[in-house]
Chain A
Amino acid sequence: MEMANTIKQVINEAVERVKMPAPLRLRDLIRMIRAARTAAEEREVVNRECANIRNTFRDEDSVWRCRSVAKLLYIHMLGYPAHFGQLECLKLIASPRFTDKRIGYLGAMLLLDERQDTHLLITNVLKNDLNADAQFVVGLALCTLGTIASIEMSRDLAPEIEKLLKSSNAYLRKKAGLCAFRIVRKVPELMEMFLPACRTLIAEKNHAVLITAVTLVTEMCEKSPDTFNYFKKMIPTLVRTMKTLILSGYSPEHDVSGVSDPFLQVKLLRLLRVLGRGDLEAAEAMNDLLAQVATNTDTSKNVGNAILYETVHAIMDVQSESGLRVLAVNILGRFLLNSDKNIRYVALTTLQKTVQLDQNAVQRHRSTVLECLKDPDVSIRRRAMELCFQLVTDSNLETMARELLQFLAKSEPEVKTICASNLTTIAERYAPSPSWHFHMLLEISQAAGNYMREDVVSSTIQLVSDSAAVQPDAVYCLWESTKNLKSLEDFQPLVQVCCWCIGEYGDMLFTNQHEETVTPDEVLDCFQQILWSPHVSLITRQYCLQALEKLSSRVPDHTDRIRNIVAAFGSNLNIDLQQRAVEFGILCRSYDHLRGPILERMPPIPSDRLNKRSTTNGDADNEQNNAEDLLLGDINEQTLGNDHGDSNAILDLLGGMDPGDHDIVHDLQPGGSVFGGGSSVLDDFSSLSVSTTATNNNTGSSLANDLLDLLGGNSFVDNHTTTPNYSNLQTGPTATSSALFPSITNMPLFSTVQPSAVNGVSSQQYELIPGQFFSSSFFNLNKSEQLQKLRERADEDSIMSEYGKSVMAFSDDSVWIIFTPWLAHSTITNTVMQVRIGSKNSQNQITDFIFQAAVPKSLQLSLDPPSGTNLSQGSLITQKITITNQSKVPLKLRLKLTYNLNGSQKEKIQEFSDFPSDFGSS
């Protein structure tokens, strides 16, 4: 009777189900998806099916649940959301049928993640299944736990796993091993629980169980020093197991291409490597084994090499005897010659790691490594290149550099940059002589073209500038290589260096000492080509224009041609080129007698400043810093601080002159001065300064030179600088001065660029800007006034000498801020600084500038009112800050700037704490 009822019920249920449409089979769904021709069509099919699946889920249809989840997993793989299936997976897992469980667990592994709340539910089902009788059910549960175990699950289920580790069934033991691995990784303190089981597992005969046991033990040893010491005693056992493996010979089930279970061997070697790291005793126990593996492994197949590769790692990590190390490096050397590119690749990566341990052993394979530079595989070439740079020494410099240069010339753009950059570093570090260094840099720039790091330009210039012996040769070589360039625009760094050198040392080029005589006309032709070439960057053109101007004093006969070339830029669209051209035009026309001294050669750029940089090179942003450093360095060290000895010397000289001492002044005054007395003082000043230079030549940084070089020096840095690039000529002409400067006011420049009122611009504001040492209003004054000004200036200088180093506190694309400590006002607990705010682009109209600063509680801050709120046409805002630092903590400021840039409101906030250690102290 009961039987009949059950049958009746089953039939009823079946009939109920018949009333619903049958769900699509997985295979039909896949067919439909594959038949979809467009992504939209596919999406539509999937969406429709997802809706159906949701319906079956809602109807609690247990018969089709398995099929629905399987379909959902396929949909999930295609990248569609499938999270709504999570609970269904759990229901499937709870089902008594194996088929359901299998899909359910698969779904759980793919759809669930550690963060789901469903974990509490799954922990319960897992616990049930881990205690089940059927091995495959337990297997499924173990596999799932090993994949998704969270911290809580690990804690809850660890006892079950520990029990299973001791199971008699190998299928379960191996899975439990990896579960334990996952648990240890998640909750290291549960490690203790597995220790006893591990001890027996490590002596296991079954390979798979042994693999998982070794994995587990490796993890434990890396996590805990206690366990590490515990298993260290097991080294002999492991060595024995490994030996049996090697000697076991052919065993069909573990054989991979004729090698007995390579995976196990690799795992064992790795564990040995972990256990024997830096331990002589352990190393000794392994030496024999490692030597045996290293010599006896068949290397005709990948598997053999995999084992050898791991052996090499083990030898390198464990403190093996030197003979073994050489053997290991030789194995890698053999790898390099292997026809399999994968093996060549791993050999190169391993050699890279080994090279620090054993230079000499790796050096022996240098030629093979160099061969790899020519490999057709780009990954291998790249690794080989990296290794080559590590292999460069003083003795092999020449050959390595040659090979790498060849490689550089042929390599792909993305590799070129790295290679060129590394070669530059190598050249810097190992250069036997400045001449060698220069030629190396030249060849690098020839090979790398535009892919060269930009700071190489400045470091090359520094190199040439600093070593007088190189200059004649350098300028000739640079000219020769630039002349022969097919496309100037692809080698702009080279062209820039060439321009600079010809500008500075052009006279050396036109002597007859070189193989071929170079005429100024050739050079000027070339420069003209550079200037008008459409693809040449602005920076290169600036270099070129500046070089032309400088050249005018090197080759006096060609001044007219140069003037013509430069004059063409007087109406250039680019404001900077235009300004340079106009300035030069005025210099030639109105101050021609000054042109010589102004365009004087730069003093040698001391190398230490740049070298300091080069030790940290490799950073892309260095180029900016370099330029800034050069500029700020000039100001800080030469104008403000360190050289006050020199400036004092000049002060003395000037101080000795009073307006009555006309005789001295007149003696020095050149005849046809356009400006009468006005320029004579300037002349005096420069000639007097020059005489100071003579006495201070060894320091190479006298104020006089600074003054004269400012125009020249400008060219070499200004594009990178954050200093506002404005001209005294622009701010100069005022109503009163226009009479005295008829030639200037007639210039077209000034009809387009309206000069702002100059009155507020004090000479103090110019001290940061090379080339604008005197505002042009200076020239409008009569002689006694000029002397007065010079005195004031000298006073300022003496104040300046009380300043310490300035720091750049803020810089973005429109504004810069410099802090200068005011030593005279500072005490130990009080740091007084002057804040100077300037605009980067003179065309920007910056108004309503408010500078605010905040300090941590340990400091106190007071701000004086600013000198103004507007920045335009090169004016500066100055403001005094006093920081009271009772507890002498490091200074830290938060800066807030609000300003109106060309009509749009800006607000910037930045922390600044990079004060130099000697900031604010004398």
Chain B
Amino acid sequence: MIKAILVFNNHGKPRLSKFYVHISEEIQQQIVKETFHLVSKRDDNVCNFLEGGSLIGGADYKLIYRHYATLYFVFCVDSSESELGILDLIQVFVETLDKCFENVCELDLIFHVDKVHFILNELVMGGMVLETNMTEIFTRIDEQNKLERQEAGLSAAPARAVSAVKNMNMNISQQIKDIKLPDLPQAIKDLKF
């Protein structure tokens, strides 16, 4: 079973963190830090497996990772998963992201972390592999996105109107602020003397 999937960049900034076992928020953050610490000090020419840090359960768990340009993809798995199989799974995950985002880069992950989660949910569910067919994942994600766009077109009309009016409103108030007014208290003071 996959216990956790972590994506962070070369500086340890989390880009995605998904835990399939219940772990409190603070510990989750510490695990991300610990994992980054363990993984980042390894050369690129060493193997992609290492024993899990103490927080995630120590030697019973393996960290299997791949390093792509600026990002580390780390899967923490228990002994029931095949190490080599997980390596392939990471590859499938990244290729799927690439397909969905068209030349995925770190910025896509930063600004669309929700979408990344949706894609991951089609690939892995509850810590087990769900689907490995990239075309299938892509099609399903696309269909769901279309559904969202349709909703945005129909029922979201009032909301969009509101935001348009709001923007107008904002602009107006900004313009009002821009008009220079005399310093009132000062004027009052002037009157007194």
Q: Are the CB atoms of A98 and B84 closer together than 8 Å?
A: no
Q: List chain A residues, Cβ under 8 A from B25.
A: 76, 79, 81-82
In the complex, the answer to whether A345 meets B88 with C-beta atoms within 8 Å is: no
Stretch in B68-76, B97-105, B107-115, B185-193 touching the partner: B107-115
6 smallest A-B Cβ distances: which pairs?
A306-B84, A146-B126, A79-B29, A341-B47, A377-B46, A345-B47
Residues of B within 8 A of A (CB): 14-18, 20, 22, 25, 28-29, 32, 45-50, 80, 82-85, 87-89, 91-92, 110-111, 113-114, 117-118, 121, 125-133, 135-136, 140, 143-144, 147-148, 151-152, 155, 158-159, 161-163, 165-167, 169-170
A-B contact pairs, 20 of them (CB 8 A): A14-B161, A17-B166, A34-B110, A77-B17, A97-B151, A139-B140, A142-B125, A143-B121, A147-B127, A207-B132, A208-B133, A254-B132, A256-B92, A261-B132, A263-B129, A263-B132, A270-B82, A341-B46, A345-B47, A346-B84
Instruction: Point out the residues of chain B lying under 8 angstroms from A113, CB to CB.
Output: 22
Are A102 and B118 interface neighbours, CB within 8 A?
yes
Q: How far is the CA of A63 from the CA of B18 in the complex (A)?
A: 27
9-residue interface stretch from A173-181, A802-810, A832-840? A173-181
Q: Give the shortest distance, in Å, between B158 (CB) and chain A (any CB).
A: 6
Query: How far, in whole Å, are A470 and B129 apart by their CA atoms in the complex?
Result: 63
Q: Which of A76, A174, A344 contacts B47 (CB 8 A)?
A: A344
Among the listed B84, B110, B113, B129, which residue makes an inter-chain contact with A73, where contact means beta carbons less than 8 Å apart?
B113
- Not counting A22-B166, A99-B147, a sample of 7 additional A-B residue pairs whose C-beta atoms are within 8 angstroms of each other reads A18-B169, A77-B17, A79-B14, A263-B132, A302-B87, A341-B47, A377-B46
Q: Which residues of B contact A379 (CB under 8 A)?
A: 46-47, 49-50
Complex: A741 Cα to B92 Cα, angstroms? 89
Q: What residues of A have a CB within 8 angstroms of the CB of B155 in the complex?
A: 97
Residue A380 is within 8 A (CB to CB) of chain B in the complex = yes
Contact pattern, A 333-372, Cβ under 8 Å of B = 1, otherwise 0:
0000000011111100000000000000000000000000
Q: Which of A86-107 contact B (CB under 8 A)?
A: 97-99, 102-103, 106
Return the contact of B84 from the options A18, A99, A211, A309 (Cβ within 8 A): A309
Residue on B with the closest CB to A73?
B114
Given contacts A99-B148, A136-B143, contact A263 B135 (CB under 8 A): no
Contacts of B14 in A (CB 8 A): 77-79
Question: Judging by beta carbons under 8 Å apart, are A263 and B88 in contact?
Answer: yes
Which listed residue, B113, B163, B169, touches A74 by the CB 8 Å rule? B113
Q: Are A303 and B162 in contact (CB under 8 A)?
A: no
| A149 neighbours in B (Cβ, 8 Å) | 126
Q: Which residue of A lies closest to B167 (CB)?
A: A22
Most chain A CB inside 10 Å of its own CB: which residue of B84, B140, B169: B84
> Please, how many angstroms separate the alpha-carbon atoms of A149 and B127 in the complex?
12
A608→B87 CA distance, assembly (Å): 51
Say yes or no for A115: interface residue by CB 8 A criterion: yes
The SS class assigned to the A binding surface is helix
A70 located at the interface, meaning its Cβ lies under 8 Å from any Cβ of chain B in the complex: yes
A570 at the interface (CB under 8 A from B): no
A328–B125 CA distance with the chains assembled, in angstroms: 32
Q: How far is the CA of A79 from the CA of B22 in the complex (A)?
A: 16
A262 proximity list for chain B (CB < 8 A)? 85, 88
A181 near B128 (CB under 8 angstroms)? Answer: yes
Report the nearest B residue to A305, measured CB to CB. Answer: B84
Contact of B131 among A70, A208, A252 (CB under 8 A): A208
Q: Report the nearest A residue to B149, measured CB to CB.
A: A99
Q: In whole angstroms, how far apart are the Cα atoms of A380 and B47 in the complex?
A: 8
A174 and B131 contact, Cβ closer than 8 Å, known pairs A78-B14, A376-B45: yes
Q: A63 near B130 (CB under 8 angstroms)?
A: no
| Shortest Cβ distance from A142 into B: residue | B125
Q: How far is the CA of A739 from the CA of B69 in the complex (A)?
A: 87
A13 to B159, CA, bound (A): 10
Q: In the complex, what's the smallest C-beta–C-beta distance from A99 to chain B, in angstroms?
A: 5
Asked if A211 contacts B129 (CB within 8 A), the reply is yes
Q: Does A30 contact B (CB under 8 A)?
A: yes
- Please give, as numbers and ranges, the residues of chain A lying within 8 Å of B135 by CB-CB distance: 252-253
Question: Distance (Å) between the CB of B127 and the closest chain A CB?
Answer: 8
Bound-complex Cα distance A355 to B47 (A): 22
The A34-85 residues at the B interface (CB cut-off 8 A) are: 34, 63, 70, 73-74, 76-79, 81-82
CB-based nearest B residue for A82: B25
| Bound-state Cα–Cα, A376 to B147, Å | 52
Which residues on the B side are within 8 Å of A78 (C-beta)? 14
Complex-state Cα separation, A526 to B89, whole angstroms = 62
Asked if B85 contacts A106 (CB within 8 A), the reply is no
Q: What chain B residues lie within 8 Å of A914 (beta carbons)? A: none
Is A637 on the interface with B (CB-CB < 8 A)?
Answer: no
Cβ contact within 8 Å between B45 and A377: yes
Q: Are B46 and A178 in contact (CB under 8 A)?
A: no
Is B144's CB under 8 angstroms from A102's CB? yes
Nearest CB in chain B to that of A264: its residue: B132
Contacts of B118 on A, CB cut-off 8 Å? Answer: 102, 106
Give A20's nearest chain B residue, CB to CB: B166
Shortest B115–chain A CB gap in Å is 10
Q: How far is the CB of A345 from chain B (nearest CB, A)?
A: 4
Bound-state CA distance A78–B17 (Å) is 9
In the assembly, what is the distance between CA of A137 and CA of B23, in Å? 27
Taking CB atoms, residues of chain A closer than 8 Å to B18 are: 110
Cβ contact within 8 Å between B158 and A99: no
Report yes or no: B128 in contact with A178, Cβ–Cβ below 8 A. Answer: yes
Nearest B-chain residue to A252, judged by Cβ: B135
**Smallest beta-carbon distance B105→chain A, Å:** 15
Query: Which residues of chain B come closer than 8 Å to A306, judged between CB atoms?
Result: 82, 84-85, 87-88
Interface string of A444-461 (1 = CB under 8 A from B): 000000000000000000
A531 CB within 8 Å of chain B: no
CB-based contact A30/B110 at 8 Å = yes
Residues of A within 8 A of B29 (CB): 79
Q: What residue of chain B has the Cβ atom nearest to residue A341's Cβ?
A: B47
CB within 8 Å for A136 and B45 given contacts A14-B161, A106-B114, A178-B125: no
Contacts of A309 in B (CB 8 A): 82-84
Q: Does A310 belong to the interface (CB within 8 Å)?
A: yes
Chain A residues 369 to 400 lying within 8 A of chain B, measured CB to CB, are 376-380
Quote the shortest CB–CB distance from B96 to chain A (angstroms).
12
A797-834 with Cβ < 8 A to chain B: none
Q: For A380, give the chain B residue with the smallest CB separation.
A: B47
Q: Contact at B88–A256, with CB atoms within 8 Å?
A: yes
Task: Give every chain B residue within 8 A of A270 (Cβ-Cβ).
Answer: 80, 82
Assembly CA distance A323 to B138 (angstroms): 44
Residues of B within 8 A of A253 (CB): 133, 135-136
- Give the distance in Å from the alpha carbon of A538 to the alpha carbon of B130 in the complex: 62
Q: Does A568 reach chain B (CB closer than 8 Å)?
A: no
**Given A143-B121, A345-B49 in contact, is the A17-B162 Cβ separation under 8 Å?**
yes
Taking the complex as formed, is A212 at the interface, i.e. its CB lies under 8 A from any CB of chain B?
yes
* Partner of A342 from B49, B89, B152 at Cβ < 8 Å: B49
> Cα distance A690–B36 when bound, in Å?
68
Q: Does A114 contact B (CB under 8 A)?
A: yes
Report whether A147 and B85 are in contact in the complex, using a CB–CB cutoff of 8 Å: no
Nearest-neighbor residue (CB-CB) of A178 within chain B: B125
Minimum CB distance partner of A262 in chain B: B88
Q: In the complex, which residues of chain B have a beta carbon less than 8 angstroms from the beta carbon of A212?
A: 128, 130
Among B113, B128, B159, find the residue whose CB has the most chain A CB atoms closer than 10 A.
B128
Q: Within the complex, what minimum Cβ distance (angstroms) separates B160 from chain A?
A: 10
Docked pose: A97 CA to B48 CA in angstroms: 42
CA distance A252 to B158 in the complex (A): 45
Residue of chain A at shortest CB distance from B48: A342
Q: Are B113 and A208 in contact (CB under 8 A)?
A: no
Set of chain A residues within 8 Å of B129, measured between Cβ atoms = 211, 215, 263, 267
A182, CB-defined interface residue at 8 Å = yes
Partner among A18, A26, A174 whose Cβ is within 8 Å of the Cβ of B130: A174
How far apart are the CA atoms of A18 and B159 in the complex, in Å? 10
Nearest residue, chain A, Cβ from B159: A63
A662 contacts partner chain B, Cβ-Cβ < 8 Å: no
Residues of B within 8 A of A376 (CB): 45-46
CA distance A22 to B162 in the complex (A): 9
**Cα-based distance from A379 to B125 in the complex (angstroms):** 31
Q: Which residue of B lies closest to A215 (CB)?
A: B128
